[in-house]
Amino acid sequence: MISGHSSLALLNKQGSIIKTWPLTAKSSFRIGRGAENDIILANNWTSRQHAILQREENGLFNAIDLGSSNGTSINGQRIHTPTRLYSGDQIQIGSRTTLTFMQEGVPEHQEIITEDDERTVAFLEKDQVTILICDIRDFTSLSEEIGDKNISQVLKLWTALIKTVIDRHQGSIDKFIGDAVMATWIGRGRLPENIRQALSCALELSHETLKLGKKVNLKKPLRIGAALNTGEAVVGNIGVEGGRDYTVIGDLVNVTFRLEELTGRTGKDVIIGAAAARELKTLSGSLAGDSYQVKGRKEPVKAYTADFCQLKRLL
């Protein structure tokens, strides 16, 4: 068991330490651009959730890239799987930021074998994931129109029906964020079926959301926008002891959220990422495709748009 003090230091171009973070009090430390991270690197080459340092039961640390856009390297070697850290290792975030890992009691760059090694577990792995994100259209104006009490009741009813519909289409709810939901279908061998299930799920969610709006006597139709994307992402348990959640992280998630934002801008009900559309050739051959500039990406993202009536005919 390694019990020495651990820390992570940010280096400037000259190799001098300009900031240090202690790696204590919990077992995982997120690195990224977003404010929710433990180690915040506020630059545009760092992904919102870029990497994670995870302490095992034996006290040793692994570095794990979270599907970042610009990658994570250890001593100049890009990593794609959980990688053991040794004291003195340099972690490159993208190609411009260098961090140094330090841990007392751990030899530098030597093979470490402890009696606890067989009990260590990597909580994260890469898999093929289909993501569906839906949100209520014009939610802010609806909230102002019907008031806090009524909008809370609408959200309560909406989240209940969402759970039922997503379960029926064999998906899993990853998270609720206000008036939005993110659902996932995971597995390399089921990709075309997962995409079809997710699209069918979006159709049913649209139908049930309209019915809910009528049920609670809203003046305007209650509608949703939806984005679907598929690709490789990091899946697994993330968080601190007693609060780990099975979730999906990485650039795929970020891009899907950006695509969902485009539904309002384009006036379309559904936006489907190019990789998902290619898997179902009836989609890429029948829907309008275009390239969109999304926040956080240098290159435009190819996607296809549809309204729910079109989607129903194609499925």
Average pLDDT over every residue of 136-147 = 91
Output the six-digit token pair for 189.
Answer: 């061998």
Q: Contact, 232 vs 252, CB < 8 A? A: yes
Q: What is the pLDDT of residue 307?
A: 93
Q: What is the pLDDT of residue 217?
A: 94
Q: Spell out the residues 6+ positions from residue 169 whose beta carbon is closer than 8 angstroms to its own.
A: 197, 198, 200, 201, 204
Beta strands in the chain (DSSP E): 6-11, 17-22, 28-32, 39-40, 51-55, 61-65, 72-74, 77-78, 83-84, 90-93, 97-103, 124-136, 172-177, 180-186, 224-238, 245-249, 270-273, 288-292, 301-306
pLDDT-based confidence at residue 49 (cuts at 50, 70, 90): confident
Q: What is the pLDDT of residue 106?
A: 55
**Residue with the larger pLDDT of the pair 176 and 229:** 229
pLDDT tens, residue by residue, 26-45: 888 999 998 889 999 999 89
pLDDT tens, residue by residue, 180-215: 999 999 987 788 999 999 999 999 999 999 999 999
Name the pTM for this structure: 0.68
Q: What is the pLDDT of residue 238?
A: 60
Domain extents for the chain?
6-103, 124-313
Q: What is the pLDDT of residue 227?
A: 97
Q: What is the pLDDT of residue 285?
A: 79
Q: What is the pLDDT of residue 189?
A: 79
Q: What is the pLDDT of residue 118?
A: 35
Average pLDDT over every residue of 167-183 = 92
Task: Please check the confidence at residue 3 and state whether its pLDDT lies above 60.
Answer: no
pLDDT tens, residue by residue, 299-315: 899 999 999 999 999 88
Q: Spell out the residues 6+ positions from residue 84 whose beta carbon is closer than 8 angstroms to its own.
A: 60, 61, 62, 112
Average pLDDT over every residue of 263-287 = 88
- Which range is least confidently modeled, 85-89, 224-228, 284-288, 295-299? 295-299
Q: Contact, 234 vs 250, CB < 8 A? A: yes
Q: What is the pLDDT of residue 254?
A: 85
For the domain bounded by 124-313, which CATH number is listed? 3.30.70.1230
Distance CA 132, CA 246 (A): 16
Distance CA 120, CA 64 (A): 14
Average pLDDT over every residue of 93-119 = 65
Structural fold of domain 6-103: Tumour Suppressor Smad4 (2.60.200)
Task: Please check the confidence at residue 113 and state whether its pLDDT lies above 50.
Answer: no
Task: Please check the confidence at residue 82 and state whether its pLDDT lies above 70.
Answer: yes
| Average pLDDT taken over every residue of the chain | 86
